[in-house]
Structure 1
Amino acid sequence: MTRRRRSPDTWRVLRWVLAAQFVFAAILLGTDLAQIVPQLAWPSPAPALTAPIGPGDQIRRYTPDQLPDRAPAPGSRPLPDTRDMPDRLDIATPEWEGEPVLTLTGRIAEGDAARVVAYLDALERLPTETYLNSPGGSVYDALEIGRALRAREIATVMTASDICLSACPYILAAGVTRHADPDAMIGVHQHYFGQNTVLPAFIAVEQIQRGQGEVMEYLQDMGVDPLVMRHALVTPWDEIYLLTPAERATYRLASEPESQG
Protein backbone atom coordinates (compact mmCIF):
# COMPACT_ATOMS: atom_id res chain seq x y z
CA MET A 1 0.00 0.00 0.00
CA THR A 2 1.58 3.26 -1.08
CA ARG A 3 1.30 6.43 0.91
CA ARG A 4 -0.27 9.37 -0.82
CA ARG A 5 1.94 12.38 -0.92
CA ARG A 6 0.44 15.71 -0.02
CA SER A 7 0.41 18.09 -2.90
CA PRO A 8 2.26 21.44 -2.72
CA ASP A 9 -1.13 23.13 -2.40
CA THR A 10 -1.93 21.03 0.68
CA TRP A 11 1.37 21.96 2.33
CA ARG A 12 0.73 25.60 1.50
CA VAL A 13 -2.68 25.47 3.18
CA LEU A 14 -1.23 23.78 6.28
CA ARG A 15 1.46 26.46 6.53
CA TRP A 16 -1.20 29.15 6.29
CA VAL A 17 -3.24 27.46 9.02
CA LEU A 18 -0.19 27.22 11.29
CA ALA A 19 0.71 30.84 10.64
CA ALA A 20 -2.85 31.91 11.37
CA GLN A 21 -2.73 30.05 14.68
CA PHE A 22 0.47 31.88 15.65
CA VAL A 23 -1.10 35.21 14.71
CA PHE A 24 -4.22 34.38 16.71
CA ALA A 25 -2.10 33.45 19.74
CA ALA A 26 -0.14 36.70 19.44
CA ILE A 27 -3.37 38.73 19.29
CA LEU A 28 -4.70 36.77 22.26
CA LEU A 29 -1.60 37.58 24.31
CA GLY A 30 -1.55 41.17 23.12
CA THR A 31 -5.16 41.73 24.10
CA ASP A 32 -4.56 40.41 27.60
CA LEU A 33 -1.45 42.56 27.99
CA ALA A 34 -3.28 45.62 26.69
CA GLN A 35 -5.81 45.18 29.49
CA ILE A 36 -3.26 44.58 32.24
CA VAL A 37 -0.14 46.62 31.38
CA PRO A 38 -1.73 50.08 31.81
CA GLN A 39 -2.78 49.21 35.36
CA LEU A 40 0.69 47.83 36.11
CA ALA A 41 2.51 50.80 34.58
CA TRP A 42 0.16 53.42 35.98
CA PRO A 43 -1.42 52.03 39.14
CA SER A 44 -4.56 53.60 40.50
CA PRO A 45 -4.00 56.94 42.25
CA ALA A 46 -7.01 56.27 44.48
CA PRO A 47 -6.49 56.13 48.27
CA ALA A 48 -5.84 52.82 49.98
CA LEU A 49 -8.77 50.53 50.69
CA THR A 50 -8.55 51.30 54.40
CA ALA A 51 -8.88 55.07 53.96
CA PRO A 52 -12.17 56.38 55.43
CA ILE A 53 -14.85 57.15 52.86
CA GLY A 54 -17.48 59.85 52.60
CA PRO A 55 -20.19 60.74 50.07
CA GLY A 56 -18.46 61.51 46.77
CA ASP A 57 -15.13 60.11 47.99
CA GLN A 58 -15.65 56.36 47.69
CA ILE A 59 -13.18 55.06 45.07
CA ARG A 60 -10.36 53.05 46.61
CA ARG A 61 -7.47 50.95 45.29
CA TYR A 62 -8.33 47.27 45.17
CA THR A 63 -5.99 44.29 45.17
CA PRO A 64 -7.52 40.99 46.31
CA ASP A 65 -4.13 39.83 47.63
CA GLN A 66 -3.66 42.95 49.78
CA LEU A 67 -6.77 43.06 51.90
CA PRO A 68 -7.06 45.25 54.99
CA ASP A 69 -6.61 43.70 58.41
CA ARG A 70 -10.11 43.69 59.86
CA ALA A 71 -9.96 41.47 62.89
CA PRO A 72 -13.18 41.02 64.88
CA ALA A 73 -13.48 41.47 68.59
CA PRO A 74 -13.31 38.09 70.40
CA GLY A 75 -16.68 36.38 70.31
CA SER A 76 -18.26 39.04 68.11
CA ARG A 77 -19.06 36.89 65.07
CA PRO A 78 -18.64 33.40 63.60
CA LEU A 79 -16.14 34.43 60.89
CA PRO A 80 -12.33 34.73 60.78
CA ASP A 81 -10.62 38.02 59.97
CA THR A 82 -9.51 39.06 56.50
CA ARG A 83 -6.00 37.65 56.94
CA ASP A 84 -7.43 34.13 56.82
CA MET A 85 -9.08 34.38 53.38
CA PRO A 86 -8.83 31.05 51.52
CA ASP A 87 -8.45 30.89 47.73
CA ARG A 88 -11.95 29.45 47.41
CA LEU A 89 -15.00 29.67 49.62
CA ASP A 90 -14.75 27.99 52.99
CA ILE A 91 -18.26 26.75 53.81
CA ALA A 92 -19.26 26.03 57.40
CA THR A 93 -22.28 25.96 59.71
CA PRO A 94 -21.12 26.85 63.22
CA GLU A 95 -23.48 27.35 66.12
CA TRP A 96 -24.10 31.05 66.74
CA GLU A 97 -26.25 32.15 69.67
CA GLY A 98 -27.72 28.65 69.86
CA GLU A 99 -28.61 28.41 66.16
CA PRO A 100 -26.69 27.07 63.15
CA VAL A 101 -25.58 29.75 60.68
CA LEU A 102 -23.98 29.39 57.27
CA THR A 103 -20.61 31.11 56.87
CA LEU A 104 -19.02 31.78 53.48
CA THR A 105 -15.43 32.96 53.76
CA GLY A 106 -12.83 33.60 51.06
CA ARG A 107 -12.61 34.13 47.34
CA ILE A 108 -15.43 32.90 45.11
CA ALA A 109 -13.79 30.39 42.77
CA GLU A 110 -15.25 28.68 39.74
CA GLY A 111 -17.22 25.66 40.92
CA ASP A 112 -18.00 27.11 44.35
CA ALA A 113 -21.70 27.40 43.53
CA ALA A 114 -21.98 23.65 43.05
CA ARG A 115 -20.11 23.12 46.32
CA VAL A 116 -22.45 25.43 48.24
CA VAL A 117 -25.56 23.78 46.79
CA ALA A 118 -24.27 20.30 47.61
CA TYR A 119 -23.39 21.43 51.12
CA LEU A 120 -26.85 22.89 51.74
CA ASP A 121 -28.57 19.83 50.34
CA ALA A 122 -26.65 17.62 52.77
CA LEU A 123 -27.64 19.56 55.88
CA GLU A 124 -30.22 18.04 58.21
CA ARG A 125 -31.05 21.45 59.67
CA LEU A 126 -31.06 24.41 57.29
CA PRO A 127 -29.62 27.66 58.69
CA THR A 128 -31.69 30.82 58.47
CA GLU A 129 -28.73 33.24 58.15
CA THR A 130 -25.55 33.46 56.05
CA TYR A 131 -22.53 35.47 57.20
CA LEU A 132 -20.36 36.78 54.36
CA ASN A 133 -16.67 37.70 54.33
CA SER A 134 -15.30 37.66 50.79
CA PRO A 135 -13.20 39.78 48.40
CA GLY A 136 -15.23 38.45 45.45
CA GLY A 137 -14.35 36.33 42.44
CA SER A 138 -16.50 34.45 39.93
CA VAL A 139 -19.63 36.43 39.02
CA TYR A 140 -21.38 33.35 37.66
CA ASP A 141 -20.83 31.40 40.87
CA ALA A 142 -21.90 34.36 43.01
CA LEU A 143 -25.20 34.56 41.13
CA GLU A 144 -25.81 30.83 41.45
CA ILE A 145 -24.99 30.88 45.17
CA GLY A 146 -27.38 33.78 45.57
CA ARG A 147 -30.17 31.91 43.82
CA ALA A 148 -29.57 28.89 46.08
CA LEU A 149 -29.82 31.04 49.21
CA ARG A 150 -32.99 32.76 48.04
CA ALA A 151 -34.63 29.45 47.11
CA ARG A 152 -34.04 28.32 50.70
CA GLU A 153 -35.20 31.65 52.17
CA ILE A 154 -31.91 32.34 53.96
CA ALA A 155 -31.03 35.84 55.20
CA THR A 156 -27.62 37.49 54.66
CA VAL A 157 -25.69 39.28 57.40
CA MET A 158 -22.47 41.29 57.67
CA THR A 159 -20.90 42.44 60.91
CA ALA A 160 -18.54 45.37 61.43
CA SER A 161 -15.32 43.59 60.43
CA ASP A 162 -16.66 41.82 57.33
CA ILE A 163 -15.86 42.67 53.73
CA CYS A 164 -17.98 41.92 50.67
CA LEU A 165 -16.34 43.19 47.47
CA SER A 166 -16.48 42.66 43.71
CA ALA A 167 -18.89 39.76 43.03
CA CYS A 168 -19.71 39.14 46.71
CA PRO A 169 -22.48 41.80 46.90
CA TYR A 170 -24.53 39.63 44.53
CA ILE A 171 -24.62 36.96 47.24
CA LEU A 172 -25.49 39.61 49.82
CA ALA A 173 -28.38 40.71 47.58
CA ALA A 174 -29.95 37.23 47.75
CA GLY A 175 -30.91 37.34 51.41
CA VAL A 176 -34.62 37.36 52.21
CA THR A 177 -33.48 40.02 54.66
CA ARG A 178 -30.12 41.76 54.27
CA HIS A 179 -28.40 43.43 57.21
CA ALA A 180 -24.94 45.00 57.23
CA ASP A 181 -23.21 46.84 60.03
CA PRO A 182 -22.36 50.44 59.05
CA ASP A 183 -18.66 49.58 59.36
CA ALA A 184 -18.91 46.55 57.05
CA MET A 185 -17.05 47.09 53.77
CA ILE A 186 -19.25 46.57 50.66
CA GLY A 187 -17.95 47.51 47.21
CA VAL A 188 -18.51 46.99 43.49
CA HIS A 189 -16.51 47.37 40.28
CA GLN A 190 -16.32 46.14 36.69
CA HIS A 191 -16.27 42.41 35.96
CA TYR A 192 -15.26 40.14 33.12
CA PHE A 193 -18.25 38.15 31.84
CA GLY A 194 -16.48 35.80 29.46
CA GLN A 195 -13.12 34.34 28.66
CA ASN A 196 -10.57 36.26 26.62
CA THR A 197 -12.11 38.99 24.51
CA VAL A 198 -9.99 38.36 21.41
CA LEU A 199 -13.13 37.72 19.44
CA PRO A 200 -14.88 39.77 16.79
CA ALA A 201 -15.79 43.03 18.51
CA PHE A 202 -19.51 42.49 18.17
CA ILE A 203 -19.25 39.09 19.89
CA ALA A 204 -17.11 40.45 22.76
CA VAL A 205 -19.51 43.34 23.31
CA GLU A 206 -22.45 40.95 23.13
CA GLN A 207 -20.92 38.77 25.87
CA ILE A 208 -20.34 41.76 28.14
CA GLN A 209 -23.82 43.14 27.56
CA ARG A 210 -25.40 39.74 28.15
CA GLY A 211 -23.51 39.37 31.42
CA GLN A 212 -24.47 42.84 32.61
CA GLY A 213 -28.07 42.22 31.64
CA GLU A 214 -28.13 38.96 33.61
CA VAL A 215 -26.75 40.70 36.70
CA MET A 216 -29.30 43.52 36.46
CA GLU A 217 -32.17 41.06 36.03
CA TYR A 218 -30.86 39.06 39.00
CA LEU A 219 -30.72 42.16 41.22
CA GLN A 220 -34.26 43.09 40.30
CA ASP A 221 -35.46 39.55 41.05
CA MET A 222 -33.82 39.86 44.47
CA GLY A 223 -35.53 43.15 45.23
CA VAL A 224 -32.37 45.25 44.83
CA ASP A 225 -32.37 48.40 42.71
CA PRO A 226 -30.32 47.59 39.55
CA LEU A 227 -29.12 51.22 39.52
CA VAL A 228 -26.43 50.09 41.96
CA MET A 229 -24.73 48.75 38.82
CA ARG A 230 -23.97 52.26 37.60
CA HIS A 231 -21.17 52.45 40.17
CA ALA A 232 -19.79 49.07 39.10
CA LEU A 233 -19.81 49.92 35.38
CA VAL A 234 -17.61 53.02 35.77
CA THR A 235 -15.14 51.61 38.32
CA PRO A 236 -12.17 49.69 36.81
CA TRP A 237 -11.09 46.29 38.08
CA ASP A 238 -8.11 47.64 40.05
CA GLU A 239 -10.36 49.98 42.02
CA ILE A 240 -13.50 49.48 44.09
CA TYR A 241 -16.47 51.73 44.77
CA LEU A 242 -17.37 51.44 48.44
CA LEU A 243 -21.05 51.95 49.15
CA THR A 244 -22.04 54.17 52.05
CA PRO A 245 -24.67 52.87 54.50
CA ALA A 246 -27.10 55.40 53.01
CA GLU A 247 -26.52 54.05 49.48
CA ARG A 248 -26.98 50.46 50.62
CA ALA A 249 -30.38 51.41 52.01
CA THR A 250 -31.30 53.49 48.94
CA TYR A 251 -30.53 50.59 46.60
CA ARG A 252 -32.18 48.13 49.02
CA LEU A 253 -28.96 46.13 49.07
CA ALA A 254 -28.68 46.08 52.86
CA SER A 255 -30.00 47.88 55.92
CA GLU A 256 -28.42 48.33 59.31
CA PRO A 257 -29.20 45.63 61.88
CA GLU A 258 -32.08 46.42 64.17
CA SER A 259 -31.03 47.65 67.58
CA GLN A 260 -31.12 45.00 70.25
CA GLY A 261 -31.67 47.54 72.99
Structure 2
Amino acid sequence: MSAPPDLETEATQEPEVTSPPLVARILTGVLVLQLGLGGLLVLGDVQIGAFPGFGPEAPPLSDPVRPGDQRRVFRPDRDRPGTQPARPPGDIPARLTLDQIEGTTYRLEGEIAPGDAARMIERLASLTPAAERLVLQSPGGVVQEALALGRHIREAGLTTQMLAGEFCYSACPYVLAAGATRDIDDTAQVGVHQHYFGESTILPAAFAVEDIQTGQGEVVGYLVEMGIDLRVMQHALTTPPDEIYVLLPEELRDYGFIADTN
Protein backbone atom coordinates (compact mmCIF):
# COMPACT_ATOMS: atom_id res chain seq x y z
CA MET A 1 0.00 0.00 0.00
CA SER A 2 1.52 3.30 -1.07
CA ALA A 3 1.84 6.29 1.22
CA PRO A 4 -0.61 9.13 0.83
CA PRO A 5 0.59 11.61 -1.80
CA ASP A 6 1.19 14.41 0.66
CA LEU A 7 3.35 12.20 2.92
CA GLU A 8 5.36 10.85 -0.02
CA THR A 9 6.08 14.35 -1.23
CA GLU A 10 7.19 15.41 2.25
CA ALA A 11 9.50 12.39 2.56
CA THR A 12 11.38 13.23 -0.65
CA GLN A 13 11.89 16.94 0.05
CA GLU A 14 15.47 18.16 0.75
CA PRO A 15 15.97 19.21 4.38
CA GLU A 16 15.92 22.95 4.79
CA VAL A 17 19.37 24.50 5.37
CA THR A 18 19.36 27.00 8.20
CA SER A 19 21.99 29.65 8.87
CA PRO A 20 24.26 29.07 11.87
CA PRO A 21 23.17 30.67 15.10
CA LEU A 22 24.32 34.24 15.70
CA VAL A 23 26.62 33.28 18.58
CA ALA A 24 28.41 30.69 16.44
CA ARG A 25 28.95 33.25 13.68
CA ILE A 26 30.39 35.75 16.16
CA LEU A 27 32.77 33.17 17.65
CA THR A 28 33.89 32.16 14.18
CA GLY A 29 34.58 35.79 13.32
CA VAL A 30 36.63 36.30 16.48
CA LEU A 31 38.67 33.18 15.71
CA VAL A 32 39.35 34.34 12.16
CA LEU A 33 40.41 37.76 13.46
CA GLN A 34 42.80 36.21 15.98
CA LEU A 35 44.28 33.93 13.35
CA GLY A 36 44.72 36.92 11.05
CA LEU A 37 46.54 38.90 13.73
CA GLY A 38 48.74 35.92 14.49
CA GLY A 39 49.57 35.53 10.83
CA LEU A 40 50.55 39.18 10.56
CA LEU A 41 52.80 38.89 13.60
CA VAL A 42 54.55 35.84 12.17
CA LEU A 43 54.80 37.19 8.62
CA GLY A 44 56.13 40.46 9.99
CA ASP A 45 58.81 38.55 11.92
CA VAL A 46 57.74 40.58 14.92
CA GLN A 47 58.64 39.90 18.50
CA ILE A 48 57.19 43.11 19.85
CA GLY A 49 54.36 43.87 17.48
CA ALA A 50 56.31 46.27 15.28
CA PHE A 51 56.05 45.49 11.60
CA PRO A 52 58.69 45.93 8.92
CA GLY A 53 58.04 48.74 6.51
CA PHE A 54 55.77 47.97 3.59
CA GLY A 55 56.68 51.06 1.56
CA PRO A 56 59.60 51.47 -0.83
CA GLU A 57 62.78 49.98 0.57
CA ALA A 58 65.22 52.46 2.05
CA PRO A 59 68.70 52.84 0.52
CA PRO A 60 71.45 50.50 1.75
CA LEU A 61 73.37 51.28 4.91
CA SER A 62 76.46 52.06 2.83
CA ASP A 63 74.77 55.08 1.19
CA PRO A 64 75.79 58.40 2.77
CA VAL A 65 73.07 60.16 4.76
CA ARG A 66 72.00 63.76 4.36
CA PRO A 67 69.33 65.91 6.03
CA GLY A 68 65.90 64.48 5.24
CA ASP A 69 67.41 61.28 3.82
CA GLN A 70 68.46 59.37 6.93
CA ARG A 71 66.64 56.03 6.86
CA ARG A 72 68.68 53.08 5.69
CA VAL A 73 68.13 49.34 5.35
CA PHE A 74 69.38 47.74 8.57
CA ARG A 75 71.35 44.60 7.74
CA PRO A 76 74.57 45.18 9.68
CA ASP A 77 75.69 41.58 9.15
CA ARG A 78 75.75 42.21 5.39
CA ASP A 79 76.40 45.93 5.06
CA ARG A 80 78.46 48.61 6.78
CA PRO A 81 78.02 52.37 6.75
CA GLY A 82 79.74 54.26 3.96
CA THR A 83 82.12 55.98 6.37
CA GLN A 84 85.88 55.89 6.83
CA PRO A 85 86.51 54.26 10.23
CA ALA A 86 89.52 55.21 12.30
CA ARG A 87 90.73 51.59 12.19
CA PRO A 88 90.01 48.49 10.07
CA PRO A 89 86.54 47.40 11.24
CA GLY A 90 87.00 43.63 11.05
CA ASP A 91 84.24 41.32 12.26
CA ILE A 92 81.92 42.54 15.00
CA PRO A 93 81.90 40.11 17.96
CA ALA A 94 78.67 38.18 18.52
CA ARG A 95 78.55 39.53 22.08
CA LEU A 96 80.13 42.44 23.92
CA THR A 97 83.88 42.43 24.44
CA LEU A 98 85.97 44.80 26.55
CA ASP A 99 89.61 45.40 25.62
CA GLN A 100 92.14 47.98 26.70
CA ILE A 101 93.14 50.57 24.12
CA GLU A 102 95.49 52.63 26.24
CA GLY A 103 95.67 53.53 29.92
CA THR A 104 92.15 53.97 31.29
CA THR A 105 90.50 53.88 27.84
CA TYR A 106 88.82 50.63 26.81
CA ARG A 107 86.92 49.48 23.75
CA LEU A 108 83.40 48.11 24.33
CA GLU A 109 82.39 46.39 21.11
CA GLY A 110 80.03 43.76 19.74
CA GLU A 111 76.40 42.76 19.71
CA ILE A 112 74.56 43.18 23.01
CA ALA A 113 73.53 39.63 23.91
CA PRO A 114 71.55 38.19 26.84
CA GLY A 115 73.64 38.25 30.00
CA ASP A 116 76.08 40.84 28.66
CA ALA A 117 75.16 43.52 31.20
CA ALA A 118 76.09 41.42 34.24
CA ARG A 119 79.16 40.05 32.47
CA MET A 120 80.45 43.50 31.47
CA ILE A 121 79.70 45.00 34.90
CA GLU A 122 81.77 42.24 36.50
CA ARG A 123 84.54 42.75 33.94
CA LEU A 124 84.62 46.52 34.52
CA ALA A 125 84.98 45.95 38.26
CA SER A 126 88.06 43.77 37.68
CA LEU A 127 90.00 46.15 35.41
CA THR A 128 93.42 47.50 36.34
CA PRO A 129 93.70 50.35 35.74
CA ALA A 130 90.02 51.09 36.20
CA ALA A 131 88.16 52.27 33.12
CA GLU A 132 87.42 55.96 32.76
CA ARG A 133 86.48 56.02 29.07
CA LEU A 134 84.65 53.48 26.90
CA VAL A 135 84.95 53.59 23.10
CA LEU A 136 81.79 52.04 21.65
CA GLN A 137 80.94 50.19 18.48
CA SER A 138 77.89 47.94 18.28
CA PRO A 139 75.02 47.08 15.92
CA GLY A 140 72.73 46.82 18.96
CA GLY A 141 71.03 43.88 20.59
CA VAL A 142 68.94 43.27 23.70
CA VAL A 143 67.46 46.55 24.94
CA GLN A 144 67.11 45.50 28.59
CA GLU A 145 70.80 44.55 28.69
CA ALA A 146 71.76 47.94 27.23
CA LEU A 147 69.69 49.76 29.86
CA ALA A 148 71.18 47.78 32.75
CA LEU A 149 74.73 48.29 31.52
CA GLY A 150 74.03 51.96 30.83
CA ARG A 151 72.85 52.61 34.37
CA HIS A 152 76.06 51.09 35.71
CA ILE A 153 78.16 53.24 33.36
CA ARG A 154 76.38 56.38 34.55
CA GLU A 155 76.73 55.41 38.21
CA ALA A 156 80.46 54.83 37.66
CA GLY A 157 80.82 58.24 36.01
CA LEU A 158 82.46 56.86 32.85
CA THR A 159 82.85 58.74 29.58
CA THR A 160 81.47 57.15 26.41
CA GLN A 161 83.08 57.86 23.07
CA MET A 162 82.65 57.12 19.38
CA LEU A 163 85.57 57.33 16.99
CA ALA A 164 85.52 58.59 13.42
CA GLY A 165 83.56 56.41 11.01
CA GLU A 166 82.37 53.88 13.61
CA PHE A 167 78.76 53.02 14.43
CA CYS A 168 76.33 52.59 17.30
CA TYR A 169 72.87 51.34 16.26
CA SER A 170 69.62 50.11 17.74
CA ALA A 171 70.12 49.44 21.50
CA CYS A 172 73.70 50.76 21.47
CA PRO A 173 72.69 54.46 21.70
CA TYR A 174 71.29 53.73 25.18
CA VAL A 175 74.76 52.67 26.30
CA LEU A 176 76.22 55.73 24.57
CA ALA A 177 73.70 57.99 26.33
CA ALA A 178 74.85 56.65 29.70
CA GLY A 179 78.21 58.39 29.58
CA ALA A 180 78.63 61.05 32.25
CA THR A 181 80.26 62.89 29.35
CA ARG A 182 79.96 61.84 25.72
CA ASP A 183 82.46 62.37 22.93
CA ILE A 184 81.07 61.57 19.45
CA ASP A 185 83.01 62.23 16.27
CA ASP A 186 80.93 63.99 13.61
CA THR A 187 81.60 61.16 11.14
CA ALA A 188 80.44 58.41 13.52
CA GLN A 189 76.94 56.99 12.99
CA VAL A 190 74.34 56.75 15.75
CA GLY A 191 71.10 55.12 14.62
CA VAL A 192 67.72 54.36 16.18
CA HIS A 193 64.63 52.34 15.26
CA GLN A 194 61.78 50.31 16.73
CA HIS A 195 62.88 47.59 19.12
CA TYR A 196 61.99 44.00 19.87
CA PHE A 197 60.55 43.46 23.34
CA GLY A 198 59.32 40.23 24.89
CA GLU A 199 59.71 36.70 23.61
CA SER A 200 56.42 35.55 22.12
CA THR A 201 55.25 36.18 18.58
CA ILE A 202 52.12 34.04 18.83
CA LEU A 203 48.57 34.80 19.87
CA PRO A 204 47.04 36.52 21.68
CA ALA A 205 48.33 39.66 20.01
CA ALA A 206 47.40 41.71 23.10
CA PHE A 207 50.41 40.22 24.86
CA ALA A 208 52.72 41.57 22.14
CA VAL A 209 51.12 45.02 22.49
CA GLU A 210 51.64 44.87 26.25
CA ASP A 211 55.32 44.02 25.70
CA ILE A 212 55.69 47.03 23.40
CA GLN A 213 54.09 49.43 25.84
CA THR A 214 56.06 48.15 28.82
CA GLY A 215 59.34 48.16 26.92
CA GLN A 216 58.85 51.62 25.48
CA GLY A 217 57.91 52.90 28.93
CA GLU A 218 61.20 51.57 30.30
CA VAL A 219 63.13 53.22 27.46
CA VAL A 220 61.41 56.58 27.99
CA GLY A 221 62.16 56.50 31.71
CA TYR A 222 65.77 55.61 31.00
CA LEU A 223 66.25 58.46 28.52
CA VAL A 224 64.84 60.90 31.06
CA GLU A 225 67.36 59.59 33.63
CA MET A 226 70.18 60.14 31.16
CA GLY A 227 69.08 63.66 30.23
CA ILE A 228 68.25 62.81 26.61
CA ASP A 229 65.51 64.76 24.84
CA LEU A 230 62.55 62.46 24.21
CA ARG A 231 62.12 63.88 20.71
CA VAL A 232 64.61 61.23 19.63
CA MET A 233 61.84 58.68 20.21
CA GLN A 234 59.88 60.12 17.29
CA HIS A 235 62.56 58.83 14.94
CA ALA A 236 62.84 55.51 16.76
CA LEU A 237 59.11 54.80 16.83
CA THR A 238 58.54 55.67 13.17
CA THR A 239 61.44 53.61 11.80
CA PRO A 240 60.70 49.88 11.43
CA PRO A 241 63.10 47.25 12.83
CA ASP A 242 64.48 46.39 9.39
CA GLU A 243 65.60 50.00 8.87
CA ILE A 244 67.71 52.44 10.89
CA TYR A 245 67.38 56.20 11.26
CA VAL A 246 70.85 57.77 11.36
CA LEU A 247 70.98 60.85 13.57
CA LEU A 248 72.83 63.84 12.17
CA PRO A 249 75.44 65.62 14.34
CA GLU A 250 73.06 68.55 14.84
CA GLU A 251 70.35 66.15 16.04
CA LEU A 252 72.78 64.53 18.47
CA ARG A 253 73.39 68.00 19.89
CA ASP A 254 69.71 68.96 19.91
CA TYR A 255 68.74 65.76 21.73
CA GLY A 256 71.52 66.02 24.32
CA PHE A 257 73.84 63.22 23.21
CA ILE A 258 76.52 65.85 22.66
CA ALA A 259 76.88 68.85 24.95
CA ASP A 260 76.21 72.12 23.17
CA THR A 261 79.30 74.25 23.78
CA ASN A 262 77.91 77.34 22.03
Confirm or deny: 8 A CA contact 1:173 1:254 kept in the other structure: no
User: Which segments of 5 or more consecutive residues in structure 2 lack a partner in the other structure?
Assistant: 1-34
Give the TM-score, by structure 1 length: 0.77
Does 1:59 pair with 2:66? no
- The one-character-per-residue Cα deviations of 1:95-148 (angstroms, maximum 9, x if unpaired) are 1xxx22121111111111111111011124322111001111110111111011
Structure 1: how far apart are the matches of 2:56 and 2:159?
35
Structure 2: how far apart are the matches of 1:44 and 1:117?
41
3-state SS of the aligned residue for 1:93?
strand
Give the TM-score, by structure 2 length: 0.77
Q: Give how far 1:197 is off.
A: 3.4
- The one-character-per-residue Cα deviations of 1:138-161 (angstroms, maximum 9, x if unpaired) are 101111110111110001101112
1:236 aligns with 240
Structure 2: how far apart are the matches of 1:208 and 1:36?
15
Identify the match of residue 101 of structure 2 among 94, 101, 114.
94
Q: AA paired with 2:44?
A: Q
Structure 2: how far apart are the matches of 1:204 and 1:36?
12
Where does 1:117-196 land on structure 2 (aligned, <5 Å)? Answer: 117-196=121-200
When residues 199 and 30 of structure 1 are mapped into structure 2, their CA distance, relative to the original with a 3 A threshold, is closer
User: Which segments of 5 or more consecutive residues in structure 1 lack a partner in the other structure?
Assistant: 1-25, 75-79
Q: AA paired with 1:94?
A: I
Moved more, 156-165 or 50-59: 50-59
Where does 1:16-95 land on structure 2 (aligned, <5 Å)? Answer: 30=39, 33-36=42-45, 45-68=57-80, 72-73=85-86, 81=89, 83-95=90-102
Q: Give how far 1:221 is off.
A: 0.3
Greater length-normalized contact order (CA 8 Å, ≥ 6 residues apart): 2
Confirm or deny: 8 A CA contact 2:190 2:246 kept in the other structure: yes
Structure 2: how far apart are the matches of 1:123 and 1:133?
20
3-state SS of the aligned residue for 2:45?
helix
Larger Rg: 2
Confirm or deny: 8 A CA contact 2:60 2:79 kept in the other structure: no
Deviating 4+ runs (over 4 angstroms): 26-32, 37-40
Number of equivalent positions: 222
Structure 1: how far apart are the matches of 2:180 and 2:56?
36
1:202 aligns with 206
Confirm or deny: 8 A CA contact 2:223 2:229 kept in the other structure: yes
Q: Give how far 1:44 is off.
A: 5.7
When residues 141 and 212 of structure 1 are mapped into structure 2, their CA distance, relative to the original with a 3 A threshold, is same
